Amino acid sequence: MNERLKPFEEKMQKSYDYLEGDLATIRAGRANPHVLDKLRVDYYGTPTPIQQVGNVTIPEPRIIQIAPWEKTLIKAIEKAIMTSDIGINPTNDGSVIRLVFPELTEERRKELVKDVKKRGEEGKVAIRNTRRDGNDAFKKLAKAEVSEDEIKELEEKLQKMTDKFIKNIDKLVEEKSKEILTV
């Protein structure tokens, strides 16, 4: 791997990883503990991820169960869930909190797939912007007495890298869309 390509590959990888994490938080009718990833609970004055203050399990395909290690946290966890964009009201029995995911309607599934595709396009735009930045940087090298052949080679490798990441994004979007549409 050419040292001049490395920073652009790292940027593309970060864009891909961000998209992957973002898509993981979209709920597809099945309980997915990643919907809780962005939620924070006030734990002794510190915003703390829910996974660090309790045990998160999936006892059934459409239920997430949170068993806080300290019973005093139940109200704080409920509040964090209710103020989030998950769209599910938690229920608790005094020791555990349950999130029951309703079955998604056909219309809602189609909306979610559109959203996934839109986010995928945004990811591709980020990758293409990185390619553009790389090509601009390589053109500046021409002034620094780097041969035209070498610059052409760098641009070709950057294009191949871009194509690889775009293909991976397409695959990721397709898998998430299929997951959402599966009843």
Is the domain of 111 the same as that of 172? yes
Pick the last residue of a domain from 74, 100, 126. 100
pLDDT tens across 134-149, in order?
Answer: 999 888 877 777 788 8
Last residue of a domain, one of 100, 135, 158: 100
Angle between helices 148-181 and 6-24 (to 10 degrees): 10
Residue 89 lies in a domain: yes
Residues 76 and 144 in one domain: no
| Number of domains observed in the structure of the chain | 2
For residues 76 and 13, state if they share a domain.
no
pTM equals: 0.71
1 within some domain: no
Q: Is the same domain home to 124 and 154? A: yes
Q: How much is the pLDDT for 131?
A: 93
Q: Per-residue pLDDT for 32 more than 60?
A: yes
Mean pLDDT for the stretch of residues 10-29: 85
CATH code, 132: 1.10.132.20
Tell whether 51 and 16 lie within a shared domain.
Answer: no
On average, the pLDDT of the chain sits at 86
- Domain contains 130: yes
Domain that holds residue 135: 6-24+105-181
Q: Give the pLDDT confidence score for residue 132 in this predicted structure.
A: 93
Asked which of 52, 70, 100 is the last residue of a domain, the reply is: 100
pLDDT tens-digit series, residues 70-101: 888 888 888 888 887 777 788 888 888 888 88
**How would you classify the pairing of strands 46-49 and 40-43?**
antiparallel
163 and 112 fall within a common domain:
yes
The CA distance from 138 to 141, in Å, is 5
What is the reported pLDDT for 74?
86
* Whether the predicted pLDDT of 1 surpasses 60: no
Distances in Å between the alpha carbon of 76 and those of 43, 53, 55, 71, 129? 8, 11, 15, 10, 41
User: CA 112, 115, 116, 117 torsion: positive or negative?
Assistant: positive
Domain identity same for 140 and 154: yes
